[in-house]
Amino acid sequence: MNDWYEVLGVPPSASAEEISAAFTRLVPLERDPNESEDAAEERRLREYAYGVLHDPDSRARYDAERTAASAPERQPVGAAAQSPAPTPKGSGGIPLGPLVGAFGILAAICAVVAVAFVFVSNDDDDGARYPNREDEDYDLEAMRLRDADMPAGFLWTNSVEFTNEEWVPLFFSQEELDDPESVEPEMLSKQRQLEAEGRVRNLLSVYQSEDLGRTLGIFAISTLYADDEHAAESLTLYCGLPVDERRTLEPPPRQIVLPNVGDESAGFIAPGVMSSPLYRETTFCFRTGRIVHAISLASLPGVEDIGLAVRLAEDMENRVQAFYNGEEPPEDANEQEQEEDDGGG
């Protein structure tokens, strides 16, 4: 377990001001374009340490974990010791409106996870299946789900690609965003945290139906990470969704066998991560090299469709394979209509 106090060179009793001062001293705002890989890794560690210790709630959770880790381990007689389950942290509402309001999505995030249902690692040769490329050579749009993959009545609505800087506002309320100067330091800290988590860019796609059914909305997010290790770590947390990935899932995910879905996969059910907090979302995630794909299905409580989430993940993995094979994805109905409108204008 990393000692984030040691990374910033401050004692555990350091005040918030001392932590901020240490971070400012160690990590200049202007990044050296010629920094070595070792220096870059040291900077990322310091950025992550600051992200953990700057926020009072995350610092309190880290302090509790740090204390528990340093306590002597006690092994129950006749049984293996059980690790204490991590306690998830709830966060306030986070409107998606500022960036994706055109989708007509109800904007909220409720971060307490209710049920985790899958996590499985597939020991395939991911270097052969998903060979590494330069950042700009990953076409996340080509990998997204198409109309042909959707259940009856659902169509692709729109997709938006985000850099880390553009992704940051999703973590803040509209009231905070209306006064950007007051939250500028926190927004900068959040951007650094996203970079420390290894995120490079995201693509958010939305699929909607005019008819009411078991599933009310479908969202898909593909997140490109700096490397396989950061992507794999995300899969044990929240798969690149716009929530604080330092929180962990409770209860621990149950394993299932899905050997054909990426390199590894995970899933959970949570209240309103991408939609209204009144809904519950079934989210299935899988990793293809250094990209993590998350498919979330919004529904009313009690009618979650885990099977559909898994099936869509399988279809999306096929889209990823088609991208690597150099195949052109099919056009969706809304794309065709847009092209016709553009041609007629």
Q: Which two tokens stand for residue 144?
A: 């997204």
Confidence of residue 204 (pLDDT cuts 50, 70, 90): very high
Q: Over the chain, what is the mean pLDDT?
A: 76
Which sign, positive or negative, has the C-alpha torsion 1, 201, 170, 254?
negative
Q: Which two tokens stand for residue 244?
A: 């604080």
223-260 pLDDT tens trace: 999 999 999 888 877 788 877 655 554 544 443 445 56
Give CA–CA dist 211/209, Å, rounded.
5
Give CA–CA dist 192/187, Å, rounded.
9
DSSP state of 227: S
pLDDT score recorded for residue 118: 53
261-316 pLDDT tens trace: 888 888 888 777 777 778 888 888 899 999 999 999 998 887 888 888 888 998 99
Of the chain, the end-to-end C-alpha distance in Å amounts to: 60
Give CA–CA dist 174/169, Å, rounded.
9
Q: Which helix (H) or strand (E) holds 193?
A: helix 180-196
Phi and psi, residue 334, nearest 5°: -70, -35
Per-residue b or e along 44-74, where b marks 16 or more CB atoms closer than 10 Å to that residue's CB: bebbbbbbbbbbeebbebbeeebeeeeeeee
27-70 pLDDT tens trace: 776 666 677 877 877 877 787 787 778 778 778 878 888 887 77
Give CA–CA dist 92/123, Å, rounded.
38
Cα within 13 Å of Cα(1), Cβ side? 11
54-113 pLDDT tens trace: 778 778 878 888 887 776 654 444 433 333 333 333 333 333 333 333 333 323 333 334
Of 195, 186, 245, which Cα lies nearest the Cα of 41?
Answer: 195
Please list, in sequence order, all residues whose beta carbon lies within 8 angstroms of the beta carbon of residue 206, skipping any fewer than 6 positions away. 100, 103, 105, 156, 157, 158, 159, 217, 218, 219
Helices and strands: H and E segment counts in the chain: 13, 7
Greater confidence (212 vs 256) lies with 212
